[in-house]
Structure 1
Amino acid sequence: METMTKNVSVEKSKTSKISEVDFNNLSFGSVYTDHMLVCDFVNGAWQTPKVVPYQPITLEPSAKIFHYGQSIFEGMKAYKDENGDAWLFRPLENFKRLNKSAKRLAIPELPEAYFMEGLTTLLQVEKDWIPQNPGSSLYVRPFILASGTGFHASPADEYKFIIACAPSGAYFSGKVKVLIEENYSRAANGGVGYAKAGGNYAGQFYPTQLAIEKGYNQVIWTDDNTHEYIEEAGAMNIFVRINDTLITGPTSDRILDGITRKSILEIAEDQGIATEVRKITVSEVVEAAKNGSLKEMFGAGTAAVVSPIAGFGYQGTDYELPELDNSYATQLKTYITDIQYNRTEDKFGWRYPVE
C-alpha cells in the first residue's frame, strides 16, 4: 500500500523483521531496518522521494560509481528519550555538509525539503526501530551514488540518494592506542579531504591496517606536505588537551568540518573551558607528553561522540596519557548525549523532534 506524506511517498513493507532482532546485543551498523528512502536524479532533476521496503538496488556494470567513485555520505543518529519521543541532533548541519560534498564531487545538490522530509518520514515509519536501551540509537546513513552509465571519465547524468538505517548499541571504543602517521596522508590541499567522499575512507584502510599490525588501534593523520602537523584521528576530528586548554586543528581542504567537533567547541566555550583552534605540531604533542602537560587526546565523531586516546606511538617510542577522574572527554560526551537523549535543557537549539 502506497501513501503520500507531504512530498514523500510511502510504500510499507508487508512484513517486519524487528521481532527477530536482539536489541540488547546490537553491533554497530550490521542490522538494518524494514524500510529505506530512495530518490533518483534523472532528466536533470531530483524526483519525488520514496520510502520503500529495504531491498537491494540494481545497477549496470557501466554505472559510474564503479569506475569513477562519485559517492558521498553522511552519518547521523536518531535517539529516543525516556518518554519514547524521537529526536535528531543538528540534522540541518548534515544536510548542508552533504551538499558541500556533492558540489565538490560534481553531484547535483539535493533540495533541503527532500532531505528533511524524506528523513523525518522514514524515521516516523521506523520509529519502533529506534532503541530505548541506555546508550543505544538508530544510526542513519544518507548517501548519494552515481547510477548513470558510461566509461568516459565525466560526471554521471543519473544519481541515487538513499537513506538506510541500522539500530546500534552503545558504542564503547575502550582504550585506544594510536600511531602518528609519518608517511601516508589522508588528504591534500586542493583535494576532497573536507568532503565525506567514500574514497577518502577507502584510502585510509591500508595505512590503518599497517598500524594495527604494529599493535595500534588507529592512525593519527598528519599533513600531506611535511607530516609535522596533527590533523585527524582515524575517521574522527582530534582534540588535544595541554594543561587546561583544549586544542583542535582548523578546518581546511584536508579536514572534515565535523558536527561533533563544532558542538564540542561551543559547549567548551559555554562551560568556561579554554579552547584554541590552531595548527598542532607533532613535536608540541610529543614534548607535552614528555613534560607531563599533555592531559588528554580524543577523537570526536558521530559514532562514539568522544573516543579517548590512552596513548600514542611516534618514531618508535610509545607515550602513555594519564587517566583522569573528571576528564574533559567525559564531561563533553555527557553534555552532548544528555542533549541528544532529551535529558537536559538544550540551550543551543540542536535537538530536532521527529514528528
Structure 2
Amino acid sequence: MHEEQNVRLTSSEIAVVWSSYLNNSFSICVMQYFLANVNDSEVKLILEFALNIAQKNFNMSKEILKKDNQTIPVGFTNQDVCPDAPRLYSDAFYLYYIKNMSKVGLSVYGVALATSAHSDVRNFLSQAIQTSTELYNKTASVLLSKGLFVRPPYVTTPDSVDFIDKKSYLGGFLNLNKRPLNVIEITHIEANSEANSLGMALLAGFAQVAKSKKVREYCTEGKEIAKKHVQVFTTILTDDDLPSPMPWDLEVSDSTVTPFSDKLIMFHLSLIIASSISNYATAAAASLRTDISSSYVRLTAEIAQFSKSCIDLMIKNEWIEQPPQIPNHKNLAKE
C-alpha cells in the first residue's frame, strides 16, 4: 500500500476540519463551565470525558489545518467563558445535553467521513466517531441508572408482513381518517420533541444571562418556537393515543450572571437551528403520511426565517468567522 505524499486537503476536508476546530473550541468552553458547577460524581465523569474528547478533537483539527498551511480560525477562547459564574442548569440537564450533542457528533462526523479521502482526515473522523459513540453509551448508561433515560413509546406491532397497496396510506390534508403512525414516524417525532424540550431549557437560561438585550430577545423567541414545536409533535402522538415522553428535571436556576459571551450564546443558537433543520429534513423524507411531512416543511420554514434574523445580528457584531473560500476569479480578471 502506497502512503500519501504531500496531498493537499480537498474543499470538503478543509470544511469539516475547519468546522471541527470551531465547534470543539466552543465545546471546551461549555464543558469547562458545566464542570465547575456539577455535583453528581457520575455526571462529573461524563463531563470530564466529554471535555477530554473536545480537547483532543480540537488539537487534531489544528494540527491538520497547520500541516496543510490553512489559516487557523479564532474560534472560542477563555474570553468567552466564565467558569466561576453561578450554576444555571441541573446535573440532569448536563446528561441530556451530552446525549444530544453526542448524537449530533455521530451524524456530522459520519457524513464527513464519507466525503473524505485524505488519510489524516479519515483517521481523525474515524476516531471522532468512535469517541462520540463511547460518549453516547456512557451517558445513556448513567441516564438509565438514574431513571432519566427518555424512551420512545412502546407499541403493539402486526404479527405478519404487509405491503402498502393503497395511496390512501399517504393520507392527505383533507383526510379525516388518517392511518395510525408507523414506528419510523414515531421515532422521528419523539426525537425531535425531546431535542426541542432540551432547547427550551437551554434558551431559557441564555435569555436570563445574555448581556445584550437583542440576544436575550432572540433566545426568548427561540424558546417559544421550540415550545410550539413540542406542542405540534405532542399533538401528533396523542391523536394516536400515544404518550409523549419528555425529559424531566431540566431545571434552570434564577441566576442572571452570564457564564458565556454573547458571541458564544449566538453561535450555540445557530448550532441548534442548523441541527433542527437537518433533523426535520431527515424526518420529512422518512414520514410517509402527508400531513406529517408537510408539518416538518412548515416548521422548517419557520426556523429558517428565525435563523436569518439571528445571522443578521451575528454579522452586525462580527461574531461569524468566514469559512475558507475560493478566490473571486471574475474580480481578479478585471484588475
Q: Shorter-chain TM-score: which interval?
A: under 0.3
Higher RCO by CA contacts (8 Å cutoff, separation 6 or greater): 2
- Structure number with the higher helix fraction is 2
- Structure number with the higher strand fraction is 1
So what's the TM-score if we normalise by structure 2?
Answer: 0.26
